[in-house]
């Protein structure tokens, strides 16, 4: 894509990330997620999809890769999303590490919050976009 002059944005990186999760390629998925976070910069419109984050954490648990799960948690801690309740629930313990039990509880909490629209996560642009989609 970059060879053809296009610069992938966060949404594009997230599509790549989804494909790597589906193919169970943790390191490639993590690379794309990192690029999505970096591309987002100050963007107000992009937020990582909770379903994708949950799928990544589940994959890490399946493949016993807690290190990659911790990297994801680190991305969330350093991002503006750490202040949003549904993302904060994924962050977990204060020492920066997670064990399998914590990971399972994060996945369970995340699954229940997928369909909840939290008022603190929506700004006026999000509200307008939601209204436009409903019309």
Tokens of 30: 């993590």
Task: Residue 92: give the domain boundaries.
Answer: 2-134
pLDDT in tens, 57-85: 999 999 999 999 999 999 888 888 888 88
Question: How far out from the chain centre does Cα 4 lie?
Answer: 27
Query: Residue 124: phi, psi to the nearest 5?
Result: -60, -35
DSSP summary character for residue 131: H
pLDDT in tens, 8-39: 999 999 999 999 999 999 999 999 999 999 99
Count structural domains, the chain. 1
Distance of alpha carbon 13 from alpha carbon 76, whole angstroms: 16
Q: What is the pTM of this model?
A: 0.66
């Amino acid at each position: 894509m970059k060879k053809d002059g296009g610069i992938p944005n966060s949404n594009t990186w997230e599509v790549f990330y989804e494909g790597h999760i589906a193919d169970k390629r943790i390191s490639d998925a993590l690379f794309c997620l990192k690029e999505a976070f970096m591309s987002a910069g100050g963007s107000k419109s992009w937020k990582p999809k909770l379903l994708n984050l949950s799928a990544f954490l589940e994959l890490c648990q399946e493949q016993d890769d807690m290190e990659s799960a911790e990297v994801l948690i680190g991305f969330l801690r350093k991002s503006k999303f750490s202040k949003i309740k549904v993302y904060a629930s994924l962050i977990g313990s204060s020492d920066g590490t997670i064990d399998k039990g914590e990971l399972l509880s994060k996945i369970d909490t995340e699954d229940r919050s997928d369909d909840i629209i939290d008022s603190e996560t929506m700004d006026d642009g999000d509200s307008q976009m939601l209204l436009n989609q409903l019309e």
